[in-house]
Amino acid sequence: MSTRVFVVDGHPLFRAGVRSVLADAADVELVGEAATGEEAVTALAGGRVIADVVLMDLILPGCSGVEATRAILAEYPEDAGLPRVLFVSSSADDHAVMAALRVGARGYMVKGAAREELLRGVRTVATGGAVFSPTVATRLSRYFSAIHELPGRAAFPALTDREREVLDLMARGMNNRRIARQLVLSEKTVRNHVSHIFAKLHVTDRVEAALRARNAGLGN
C-alpha cells in the first residue's frame, strides 16, 4: 500500500517540486495539497482527505503551520498514529523547531533537501520514526544542552520552561505580538503565559516582571 502524502505550503513552485519528487516514487502517493493553514485544517481535520504523512510548512498565509498542526491532530485519537506531520520549512531556529515538536510533529527538515532525503524523511515518518535535517539535529542537541543552564531557573523555579522563555523576551523589551512571532504562538497564548508569570512572580506589570528577570540574568 502506498504512503498517502498531503502537502501544505504557500508557494506553488515548492508544491510543484514536491509533486515531482513524489511522482517518481512508486511507494508514495500524493493525495492532496493546501496553500494555507485553513485549507489544510478543512481537508484533514474535516476528514475530507486521509493522509499518512503531512508535509507542513511553518510560515503560511493565515494560521501558521504550528496552529494548523495542532488543529489537525486534535481531531484524531492519540493512539491513532495518523496523520504524521513532517515540517519542511526554510526556518530552522530553535523556537520554530520546538514549537513544531510541541504540537506533535514527527520531524523537521529544512527546505532544499535532496530528493532522496525528502523521500527518506517521508518513509521514516510514515513508519513511526522521527527525522531531522542535520542542521536541525545539531541545533536540537545544543538547545537541550543549554536549556538546563538557562538563567533564571533557580530564581524562578515556579515557572515552566515556556514561561521562562516568555519572561526572557519580555525582559528584552518585546511586546506580546513580537513574542508570539518569535515563539510561533498565538497572541492569546502569549497573554495567558504573561498572566501566569505575573501571578507566579507576584508582580502587577511588565516593567516589574522585566526588572526581576534582568536581575536574575534573563533578557541579556
Interval 16-38: pLDDT, tens: 999 999 998 999 999 999 999 99
Sign for the pseudo-dihedral over CA of 135, 90, 193, 201: positive
* pLDDT averaged per 10 residues in sequence order, the chain, 220 residues: 94 95 93 95 88 94 91 79 88 80 88 91 91 74 56 74 88 88 87 93 86 80
pLDDT value of position 181: 85
Where would I find the H helices in 41-133? 65-73, 94-102, 115-126
Phi and psi at 6, nearest 5°, equal -120, 130
Q: What is the per-residue pLDDT for 79?
A: 57
Cell output for 146: 543549554
Residue 87, pLDDT score: 95
**Domains of the chain in sequence order:** 3-142 (3.40.50.2300), 161-215 (1.10.10.10)
Q: Tell me, what's the pLDDT at 94?
A: 75
Of 201, 207, 194, the residue nearest 162 (C-alpha) = 194
Q: 12-43 as b/e, with b when 16 or more CB fall inside 10 Å?
A: eebbebbeebbeebeebebbbbbbbbbbbbbb
